[in-house]
Amino acid sequence: MYDHILVPTDGSDHADRAAGHAALLADAFDATVHLLTVVDIETAAGPFSAGGVDDDYVEQRTASERDALAERAARVDGDVETAVTTGQPSEGILEYVREHEVDLVVMGTHGRSGLRRYLTGSVAERVLRLSPVPVLTVRATEASEVGNGYGDILVPTDGSGRATAAVAHAVAVADAFGGTVHAVSVVNVGDIATGAEVSVPAGLLEELEAAATDATEAIATEAAAAGVEAVTEVRTGRPKHDLLEYVADHDVDLVVMGTHGRTGLDRVLLGSTAEALVRRAEVPVLTVSQNGS
């Protein structure tokens, strides 16, 4: 499933935690880890320049980052490659993905503070929206600590193509770690309710619940074909709230979910539920674009 795993890093706790998960996955899939630092060219002019890019300052920053990257690489077991480039961080990350046949990006969702943040929400968000390959986002929380693997993997589904795009990744990870796939569908009452009293049209709820059951069972069938254990659940409520609640209640280690495909020249709409989980889930979230790998 994964041969080359890219970890954009700035030395923050979030990026270091992401590197730990990348190393875990690389060991399971016999993949190479690529550690990348992009020196932000917009801040490389130096604190005392008159506005132009100070080449000496850039060279010093690059050399410093290269030394720091070597130290981080020494802490990662297995095959590791390192690179330091200059430019706009999200563009540098996406360019590296395209040029090095990367098939998974693992990145922290927040970076260190200072004059400018490197892996800020905006950088991670742009990579999430534009990456042609799946992206695993990680926050340095108690729930995201690197353990022995991923025992319980949540796959939210609504039966759409973007949801099913993630199933193969969830099944592959579960198979590699002996985990269980949790196929969960939440029928959104906010989308089907009518009137001031939030009533549900007769028969419609049952129809949607039946479709949700079919969607979760399809995932369970795919998992079973790969020899992976799966459980299913259909809920009626609010997807963002219910999925986060499910993560907490079932000690989920990893969320794997599909996103909307590419639209326009410069956008990938993740979808509100996917964005909510990326921003708020305490555990790592792997997003897979319908048009991606």
* Tens digits of residue pLDDT in 237-289: 888 899 999 999 999 999 999 886 433 323 333 467 888 888 889 999 999 98
Span 170-196, mean pLDDT? 85
What is the percent of the chain with per-residue pLDDT over 90, rounded to a whole number?
Answer: 51
pTM given for the model: 0.87
Three-class SS state of 92: helix
Answer whether residue 230 shows pLDDT above 90: yes
Confidence of residue 71 (pLDDT cuts 50, 70, 90): confident
Answer whether residue 112 shows pLDDT above 50: no
Q: Supply the angle between the helices 167-177 and 204-225 in degrees, to the nearest 10.
A: 50
> Pairing relation of β-strands 262-263 and 267-268?
antiparallel
The overall average pLDDT reported for the chain is 84
How many CB atoms are located within 10 Å of the residue 253 CB?
22
Q: Which residue has the higher pLDDT, 202 or 120?
A: 202
Which amino acid, residue 251?
D
What is the percent of the chain with per-residue pLDDT over 70, rounded to a whole number?
Answer: 81
Confidence of residue 105 (pLDDT cuts 50, 70, 90): very high
How many CB atoms are located within 10 Å of the residue 274 CB?
26
Span 202-211, mean pLDDT? 85
Beta strands per DSSP E along 88-150 = 104-108, 135-138
Q: How far apart are CA 293 and CA 290, in angstroms?
A: 8
Contact assessment for residue 269 and residue 259, using Cβ atoms and an 8 Å cutoff: yes
User: Which of 10-14, 119-123, 141-145, 152-156 comes out lowest in average pLDDT?
Assistant: 119-123
